[in-house]
Amino acid sequence: MRALLAVLFTTMMSFAGTAGAQPAELAQQIDQALSTLQPATQVSGRSYPAQSLAELLRLRNIPGASIAVFRDGRIIYARGFGVAEAGGSRAVDTETLFQAASISKPLTATAALALVEQGRIDLDGPVNERLTSWRIPDSAAAEGVPVTLRQLLTHTAGLTVHGFPGYAPGAPLPAVAQVLDGAPPANTPAVRVDQRPGSAWRYSGGGFTVSQLLLSDVTGEPFADLMRRLVLAPAGMAHSTYAQPPPVELRETAAWGYRGTGEPVEGGYHVYPEQAAAGLWTTPSDLARWALALSADFTRGDGKLLDHDTAIAMLTPGLGGFGLGVGVGGSGDLLTLSHGGANEGYRAVLRAFPRKGDGIAIMTNSDNGDALMRPVMIAVGRALGWPGSEPQVIVPVAVPAQQLADAVGRYATFGVSVDVQLNGDVLRATATGRPPGDLIPQGDDRYLAEDGTPIRFVRDPATNGITGLAAAGVTLQRSDP
């Protein structure tokens, strides 16, 4: 997330290029930009033919996508692409629902802060004092420091469990307390404090699930109802719900989720009782409405969602560059709020410049959806004159031929495998459900994938042989003979 912000929003350039343009003109510019996409990460010296969004969907095996763009405080572009079900005729439109996944979290934080304003919760008081149906167990790792709501919202509470895989429709669903205790039928470990609260930033969907229970305990309301009352309705998000599973009448407008291989998610989508962390069904236009409402509270003190001072506090970065429930970067007119989302079969991203009333929301119904996020944001950013809308350029480093040969093999973990082969004098990797991609050498067994992901091959100190492949915080073990 932070790397993506650095690519997209730190280069200083003027917003003035499209100042004064009318919405219809801007929409035409966006359509043109989406017909000439290029990779967000490019290798120096290579040429890249332009691709349309439709072509990218086909090449990346993504059934559908939906995009909303906002400018100067209003939505200027909203359009669906592809289909809601692979092989079907139901086209994605602006009212097609997608799972927002972790973009559920900043909206949850908005509701929590609204209750803080009402005096129902203390932002810096021990949450165990307000929890009634479950309590965070004592832990020696906490060193006697209590967990607070501020820590839950900023991922600094020291709580475990990064994210959740969800449940197939019709499968037994755990109550929230069962999720937090890792008790059957929960499919994730218990959420526990294993480091001193407030000492470090570590992403925790488990912490937001504690927030979910806290909000319901304090209000006495089902979580989906209180989110409708405190956030969705005030923001004008008429096509959104935290209900899990979604109501029958909304399922007909929902996009079904797909794996990177093109196989459908079991039952069409997974159900997330962890609503605060991953349970929002919505559209890009509704996400834009939330971002615009919060931006107006932040800049003008409109008070639609939060008071002016609370909105400022929400968008003030702390540990890890994170505000209260949302990523924050930049400063001045280039201040950004952002969050991504990844549920089983869905990918989404929201990025906004709150002081300008500008931004973009993209939602897809495929695990491969990340492949179009950055190209689309760069293309739209160029069309609208947003800062930093340039691709990342990778410069290859010369390495010994033996280093390339040593890396050839198969690497696997948790059902995911990566085959690495030599294509001439270039390493090419094929991951489960992904098209082949070159690995660009950076020296000392270090490479960059074509999407910019750092790759490192791990050697055994005793034999100097390569034993693993490390990427995105995970190490895959070499599994070839």
- Cβ burial 328-342 (10 Å sphere, 16+ → b, else e): bbbeeebbbbbbbbb
Amino acid at 338: S
- Mean pLDDT over 189-205 rounds to 97
C-alpha–C-alpha distance, residues 290 and 85, integer Å: 27
DSSP state of 230: I
Least confident of 143-147, 254-258, 279-283, 391-395: 391-395
Query: What's residue 473's pLDDT?
Result: 79
C-alpha–C-alpha distance, residues 290 and 223, integer Å: 18
- Mean pLDDT over 374-392 rounds to 93
Is residue 13 pLDDT above 50, yes or no? no
Query: What's residue 21's pLDDT?
Result: 62
Is residue 29 pLDDT above 60, yes or no? yes
User: Do 432 and 417 contact (CB within 8 A), yes or no?
Assistant: yes
pTM of the prediction? 0.89
Q: ∠ at Cα 326 (366, 78), nearest 5°? A: 50
| CA max distance for the chain | 66
pLDDT in tens, 175-194: 999 999 999 999 999 999 99
Is residue 5 pLDDT above 90, yes or no? no
Query: What's residue 4's pLDDT?
Result: 36
pLDDT in tens, 403-459: 999 999 999 987 789 999 999 999 999 988 777 899 999 999 999 998 888 999 999
- Mean pLDDT over 323-347 rounds to 96
CA atoms within 13 A on the CB side of 289: 17
- Mean pLDDT over 361-377 rounds to 96
Query: What's residue 7's pLDDT?
Result: 33
Is residue 57 pLDDT above 80, yes or no? yes
Residue 136: pLDDT band (50, 70, 90) is very high
CA end-to-end span of the chain, whole Å? 36
Summary mean pLDDT of the chain: 93
Query: What's residue 481's pLDDT?
Result: 65
